[in-house]
Structure 1
């Protein structure tokens, strides 16, 4: 039976796509005669498609049958793209088996050469099949701007029913969160640990989101951020650790100056002191808060409290 290809503006592309997919899903291979009957084109056209175009994509001839070498097929990706896919595949392993199996299958559709020598470490909580289903449900609600009802268990194990306007799914410090407005609390902006949300139901209520809210979220550096007006923080960083801030700048970071000894001064915008204090504590004594002064004093209080035990 002849195949009716889609009426696109590029019939050759449709034909090549069909041939590739037909061979890819047929382990025993396909003959030119079979393809001729299915596509209603000449054998010469098919010979040209196979030899001149598809051979570079891992298609090869064994006897009279054309097959796909899945391991050596060229998928059009360059070395840099393969590295990116390799890193993503490696990171996916740390999010739990259910998540990894789905992610790996998806990445394999992009590149059949995911046997890579890369290792990437991301300290992240594991996601089960039910959590992936939660992702799908929340994504649907966010895209359609549909409010949800759900049960939420706080870190202290208190259970409440919530009525939310979900805005974004966000990943901070190894944990997934739902950023949302709480309809039961005058639309207060809150973050909910994704795995602690259960019994999610989409309602028939819809909402709108101010674009400025999305812009503010895009600047978030940690789960401590808020939708309050951001303030500027200036840091002095000595030459020993300055390269780390230059290789991987903080979100919203701007270089304000560099001294001859290699030390630098940077500025960034935050909305909560805890967006920056943990980082400063990590890099002490190689970093100093220049402004605002109240933030520097808050750091001193934390250090004093620690010393007092």
Structure 2
């Protein structure tokens, strides 16, 4: 479906939704003429889209809100769709967080079957609610914190709570050695918010924003890498770039593409290349290409052990 087609559908559904909310009884034929579509299209709007979300019923060729029901939660179709997506994401964060999120969503939405399904899995941190609250307060107010992490005490300027591959981390500057670091949130204990203020570190936030995965090294200089993406997976890299820095340099006759992106560590790139082997290859830098070759050789040697 093209974007302008989606926009037309969204506009039509929002208009119908609003009029039903205001108590109108709507004719399929009249709506088809008004929006310059077929009656089958309007029937599809009601039968496949609106009826899932609204307490509505069909009377002959017209639709209205069921007797004894009201649509008092003033959400547009698009707003309700956004909440359905967020609700599905919340359910991916475990039963603890998911049940709390569903209670919140029930205050905003009418009850209906959620048409959205997501395979994203995010770590459940509902047991760390108090810690998250403290971290949020310290980040917003630019206050330093102290906490215990793997049997060591740290003093930190907290910048962001973030996720990588579904796991939660705290990103900030470790004042013990003045380096930018990520800390796995479930290993943080005994946190104290101090009355010591720090300044916003825009450079650190910029490095976090361009990170490819948890293996990024925010204290390192940024370097460029050029990768060959074979035809089999090229469409995925076009749909969703590997990072915000990704640029398509060239589209080859065999439908492979060459991309350029920035990174802060070899591990950051090796992690991604290994996931997509053998369809993702390193062109530059040469030292990284050589390291990937050695990793691949060792992998195949070890794999051969299990083959008769």
Q: Common fold, TM-score beyond 0.5?
A: yes
Structure 1: state its 5+ residue gaps.
1-50, 60-66, 154-158
Runs of 4+ in 1 over 6 A off after TM superposition: none
Compute the RMSD of aligned alpha carbons.
2.6
TM-score normalized by structure 1?
Answer: 0.71
Distance in 2 (CA, whole Å) between partners of 1:273 and 1:85 is: 38
User: What's the CA shift string for 1:254-299, capped at 9, x where partnerless?
Assistant: 1111123211111111101122212212222222111111110111
Partner of 2:11: none
Partner of 2:81: 83
1:172 equivalent to 2:164? Answer yes
SS in 2 for 1:95: coil
- The 1:114–1:200 alpha-carbon spacing in structure 2 relative to 1, beyond 3 Å, is farther
Contact kept? 2:73, 2:108, Cα under 8 Å: no
Alignment of 1:248 with 2:240, yes or no, is yes
Per-residue deviation, 1:84? 3.1
Residue deviations 1:70-102 (CA, integer Å, cap 9, x gap): 7x55633234x4333222211211212221122
Q: How does 1:116-127 map to 2 (within 5 A)?
A: 116-127=114-125
Alpha carbons of structure 1 residues 113 and 262: separation in structure 2 relative to 1, 3 Å: farther
Q: Which has the larger radius of gyration?
A: 1
Q: How many residues align?
A: 243
- Which segments of 5 or more consecutive residues in structure 2 lack a partner in the other structure? 1-18, 25-53, 56-66, 303-308
Report 1:1-309 matches (<5 A): 55=23, 69=69, 72-73=71-72, 75-79=74-78, 81-113=79-111, 115-128=113-126, 130-153=127-150, 159-185=151-177, 187-227=178-218, 228-251=220-243, 252-309=245-302
Decide whether aligned partners of structure 1 residues 125 and 152 sit closer, same or farther in structure 2, where only a CA change above 3 A counts: same
C-alpha change, 1:101 and 1:55, in structure 2 (3 Å) is farther
The structural deviation recorded for 1:68 is 8.6
3-state SS of the aligned residue for 1:212? helix
Q: What is the alpha-carbon distance in structure 2 between the residues aligned to residue 116 and residue 90 of structure 1? A: 8
